[in-house]
Amino acid sequence: MPALLTLNSGSSSIKFAVYLQKEEQLHEVASGQVDALGPKASLIFKESGVRHQTEIGKADHLLGLKAILEALKPVLGGEYIAGVGHRIVHGGTLYAEPILLTGAVLRALDDLSPLAPLHQPPNLAGVKAAMQAFPEAIQVGCFDTGFHRGHPYENDTYALPPKFYEDGIRRYGFHGLSYEYVSSYVQQHYPDLKDGRIIIAHLGNGCSMCCVRGFRPIASTLGFSSMDGLPMGTRCGQIDPGVIFHLLDKGMSADEVDALLLKNAGLKGMSGLSNDMRQLLASDSSDAANAVSYFVSRIRREIGSLTAANGGLDALVFTGGIGENAWQIRERVCADLDYFGLAVDPAANRENQESIGIGRTKVLVINTDEQRVIADALVSFL
Ligand code: ADP
């Protein structure tokens, strides 16, 4: 059986995973990432639980993919790569389901770049590089916005004249591949939550929360662009649009405001230290403490909002690098929320166990796997 490759191409890294199909099941045989694209890139390659790191020197997306291909040769044992699946952050109103990537589709996706400027351009650079590196393989795009397309209208729109909605000014929501993985994991392992009202908090570098009912998407904290809702590593999250007009009036250029809100805000901007939660939790600076407190407080407020949107709460799921590892954040998020049935077992929480709730509401910690969702989608195109 030929191999499948999944890619998550960012501006400075390419994360990948490789799968072989045996007895109708997909098996991940290797994974890793090319880091620090630029003059001094390196390749981290994981196979059978063993991690190797090699310096590969100067690399753009194409050279990074070639380094991955070279490292894969012994693992593939002569099998060829039949399909490459790509994580694409924004599918707009046109694309929700996974799709074969053609020149016309790529042009339409490029038009959406202003809506996700940190992610869409490197995602598409990764697709173009993969088309060159693997010219025989089919290329399939899977969209982070796709999961949310079934939202009720009131959770999908802004209070603007309807013309704007028709023109695509809507709440798209992101992190959909992660939500899809977590939803199907819960569906498989917690049958009692079949009709459940569930909030999923994806807390990584990018952060958002969504709620599902009977595994159907209801609402998300992220909206039109990738800036709304929770504060993130470098993005501000929810902000009064009046602040933006005020800053423009005070003489900042639109580009400066954009850079402030996207790259110099959030955990990094508030702390003045780092966008890395580990560093903030270890720091004794009051700015770092304020950044963490604001982060926790926004999550708690969104639990209230999403619970109301969903008519109740049966389970809260944490995922993403912070959600899966930072027990301090989970503890603070769930503290004194017994009116939502939330309470965590301190020991189970510190050990990052999967089920940590001891109240009426389940509290789960689930490691997300967006690459697996892409690989599963890719199989249906072969
Ligand atoms: P991305 O959105 O880039 O995929 P991740 O999901 O890997 O990011 O999440 C990155 C975030 O997870 C960073 O803020 C990092 O500090 C945090 N993180 C990872 N491990 C831990 C840990 N053990 N404790 C606290 N935070 C952690």
CA of 206 relative to ligand 1 center, distance in Å: 10
CA of 233 relative to ligand 1 center, distance in Å: 9
Going by the annotation, the residues of the binding site for ATP are 15, 202-206, 276-278, 321-325
How far is it, in rounded angstroms, from Cα 173 to Cα 171? 6
Is residue 94 within 8 Å of residue 16, measured between CB atoms?
Answer: no
Ligand 1: nearest atom to the Cα of 206 = 2
CA of 248 relative to ligand 1 center, distance in Å: 33
Contacts within 8 Å (CB) and 24+ apart, 214-217: 215/183, 215/184, 215/186, 215/187, 216/150, 217/147, 217/148, 217/149, 217/150, 217/151, 217/173, 217/179
Of all protein residues, the one whose alpha carbon is nearest to atom 24 of ligand 1 is 326
CA of 382 relative to ligand 1 center, distance in Å: 34
How, if at all, do strands 362-365 and 315-319 pair? parallel
- What pTM was computed for the model? 0.95
Q: Is the CB of 204 under 6 A from ligand 1?
A: yes
What contacts 161, CB < 8 A, 6 or more positions away? none
Residue at token pair 């990074």: 64
| pLDDT given for residue 49 in this prediction | 86
Tens digits of per-residue pLDDT, 214-259?
999 999 999 998 899 999 999 999 999 999 999 999 999 999 999 9
Q: Is the CB of 232 under 6 A from ligand 1?
A: no
pLDDT in tens, the chain (382 residues): 789 999 999 888 899 999 998 878 899 999 999 998 899 999 999 998 899 999 999 999 999 999 998 898 888 888 889 999 999 999 999 999 999 999 999 999 999 998 888 899 999 999 999 999 999 999 999 999 999 999 999 999 999 999 999 999 999 999 999 999 999 999 999 999 999 999 999 999 999 999 999 999 999 999 998 899 999 999 999 999 999 999 999 999 999 999 999 999 999 999 999 999 999 999 999 999 999 999 999 999 999 999 999 999 999 999 999 999 999 999 999 999 999 999 999 999 999 999 999 999 999 999 999 999 999 999 999 8
SS3 content of the chain, % helix, strand, coil (to 5): 40, 25, 35
**Which CATH number among 3.40.50.40, 3.30.420.40, 3.40.1190.20, 3.40.50.2000 corresponds to the domain 191-365?**
3.30.420.40
What contacts 143, CB < 8 A, 6 or more positions away? 88, 89, 90, 91, 95, 96, 98, 176, 177
Q: What residue spans define the domains of the chain?
A: 3-143, 191-365
Is residue 105 within 8 Å of residue 90, measured between CB atoms?
Answer: no
- In which region does residue 293 sit, left (phi positive, over 0), alpha (psi from -120 to 50) or beta (all else)? alpha
Of all protein residues, the one whose alpha carbon is nearest to atom 27 of ligand 1 is 322
How far is it, in rounded angstroms, from Cα 175 to Cα 90? 10
Query: Is the CATH code 3.40.1350.10 the one for domain 3-143?
Result: no
How far is it, in rounded angstroms, from Cα 278 to Cα 70? 34
How far is it, in rounded angstroms, from Cα 307 to Cα 303? 6
| pLDDT given for residue 116 in this prediction | 86
Chain center to CA of 48 = 25
Q: Is the CB of 278 under 6 A from ligand 1?
A: yes
| pLDDT given for residue 76 in this prediction | 87
Q: What is the dihedral of CA 166, 171, 172, 177, to 10 degrees?
A: -160
State the Rg of the chain over Cα. 21
Q: Is the CB of 118 under 6 A from ligand 1?
A: no
How far is it, in rounded angstroms, from Cα 152 to Cα 15? 33
Question: Which candidate in 144, 228, 369, 376 is catalytic?
Answer: 144
How far is it, in rounded angstroms, from Cα 108 to Cα 103? 9
Q: Closest by alpha carbon to 92, among 126, 141, 142, 143? A: 143
228 is catalytic: no
